[in-house]
Amino acid sequence: MPRPQLPVRVRAAAAAALAAALCLGGGALWLRHVIHANSVAGSVATAQSQARAIASTYQTPAAGINADGGTLAVDCVADAARCSYDKWYEFPYYGMELSFAVVDIHGKVLLAQNQLASYVRDSGLTFPAVPPQENEDFFGRLDVHLRPARSGAPGQLDGREVTLVTYNVSPSGATVYVLVSPLDAEAAVAPVDHWLRRGLPAAILFVAAVAWWAAGRALRPVERMRAELARITAADMSSRVPQPRTGDEIARLAVTMNETLDRITDAAERQRRFVADAAHELRSPLAGLRNTVEVAATHGGVVDPEVLRTGTERLQRLIDDLLLLARLERTAPARGKPVDIAAIAEELVGERRYRVPPDERFVVVAEGPAQVIGREEELARMLRNLLDNASRYARDRITVTVAEAEPGIVRVEVRDDGPGIPEADREQVFERFARVDQARDRRHGGAGLGLAIARDIAVRHGGSLYAADTASGASLVAELPQSPRT
């Protein structure tokens, strides 16, 4: 059992929603990444500038104070002169929202301010004795984990991994650590996060709704075509699907469907005519045989064996032709193998010369072997039908010419010196049960299927069969693709 599929409109809306989610979501995530990376890079650059400034001013008297609970840089009791200065000459970063620490070569905190001071004092934050490796600009980086305060007091950065920018203080060898707060980058990407949480779902739903509407509008002509097709039956195939004037794929589909319906209608009509003609043709020999038997039974006479033989042979030929036509229509053409059609013509003409009485009217003209690709038995049947047709009407001579008409084409012409085929009937003779001269054709025993079978075989082999113009008599020409030379 095939797995049921969702409606086309649902699949189109789902595909559009998925595409929108991938495009809009991917674009938003990329933009968020760019904004976050730029913000972090800006914060790092600012921290590096601040670390250099702190290192350059740390040895000044203004820097020697206790910064927000950090370790004293100097002992103001013992060295009161160094702690006495005007407020305007304070250490430049004292009182600013800047988190930094100055650590000596033993890992001891000399000075700390703001958040770093809090985590040093309350959470036991420590610094390595050996500072991180510096880059070509003499800056280093250190990632630390900030634990919550022992007292349980909450901090903004509790439990988070943060980056510290380092810079050396010369000549003391101390190291300045400046905190790169992740809060600035998070604030920068907050609008993008807000859009991702609220705007993206709304945008995806909008795209899905538009796709649902567009798919329904595009499929409306398809639904009308489906409804019209549902009304077409074998009894009435005159209806056709409406053709939109849009010129798009659906319009071309409608044109193709109508052309297909035309071909089906023609095929059904040919089938009905074929069945009717076949029934009529079968009725005639059967009626003759029945009359012969009934007359003999009524009057006590003996049935003429020759009459029975002639009737049954005609019936057998007709049945064989009908079965062959059915097989040709049912099976696909086969590539077959290389066949010498000139040799087949010689063989069939030779058989007729050895009949009783012999038929000496046939002459084969062939320059040499003529190879075509196909089934030998079908090609032989095509030639036999052409020869049979010519033998019915020829007076003294029938010429079978096999030659290469042009590169890649083998031409087989069967010409007789009979009454010929009127120009108006040259296509009709290839129709099934067709008779140009009804009386003469019945007298010769033909059912009007021989040339129809021959054309079907020629077409199955990629060729054609037609009646050519002649000054006298009839000329039937088959053109077949030549076998590639090896």
Q: What is the mean pLDDT of the chain?
A: 81
Give the tens place of pLDDT for each residue, 214-267.
988 888 888 888 888 888 776 677 788 888 887 778 888 888 888 888 888 887
At 277, the pLDDT band (50, 70, 90 cuts) reads low
Of 75-84, 176-185, 190-199, 238-247, the range with the lowest mean pLDDT is 75-84
Residue-wise pLDDT for 450-463, tens only, equals 888 889 889 888 89
pLDDT band at 335 (very low <50, low <70, confident <90, very high): low
Cβ atoms < 10 Å from Cβ of 367: 10
How would DSSP label each residue in 294-351?
Answer: HHHHHHT-PPPHHHHHHHHHHHHHHHHHHHHHHHHHHSPP---EEEEHHHHHHHHHHH
Q: How high is the pLDDT of residue 250?
A: 83
CB 370 within 8 A of CB 364: no
Do residues 303 and 293 make contact, with C-beta atoms less than 8 angstroms apart? yes
CA distances from 114 to 94, 99, 127, 266 (A): 9, 5, 16, 94
Dist CA 195 CA 16 (whole Å): 20
Domains, the chain, in order of start with CATH, read 8-186 (3.30.450), 233-331 (1.10.287), 333-481 (3.30.565.10)
Model pLDDT, residue 89: 34
Flag whether the pTM goes above 0.85.
no
pLDDT for residue 320: 76
Q: Residue 137: helix, strand or coil by DSSP?
A: coil
The secondary structure of the chain in percent helix, strand, coil, rounded to multiples of 5, reads 50, 15, 35
- How far apart (Å, rounded) are the C-alpha atoms in residues 172 and 56? 12
Nearest 5°: phi and psi at 462? 80, 15
Q: Where are the alpha helices (DSSP H) in 64-167?
A: 114-123
The pairs formed by 92-95 with CB atoms below 8 angstroms and a separation of 24 or more are: 92/53, 92/57, 92/62, 93/50, 93/53, 93/54, 94/65, 94/67
Query: In 10 A of CB 243, how many CB atoms?
Result: 16
Strands 371-374 and 337-340: antiparallel
Residue 19's pLDDT is 92
**64 pLDDT higher than 70:** no
| Burial of residue 155, with CB atoms counted within 10 A of its CB: 0-12 exposed, 13-18 middle, 19 or more buried | middle
Closest CA to 397 of 423, 364, 422, 424: 364
- 169 phi and psi angles, rounded to 5 deg: -100, 115
Is residue 84 over pLDDT 50? no
Given this model, what pLDDT does residue 476 score?
94
As to burial, measured by CB atoms within 10 angstroms (0-12 exposed, 13-18 middle, 19+ buried), residue 80 is exposed
Q: What are residue 203's phi and psi, to 5 degrees?
A: -65, -40
Give the whole-angstrom CA distance, residue 50 versus residue 176.
Answer: 10
CB atoms within 10 A of CB 463: 21
Q: Can you tell me the distance from the alpha carbon of 20 to that of 12, in angstroms, rounded to the nearest whole number?
A: 12
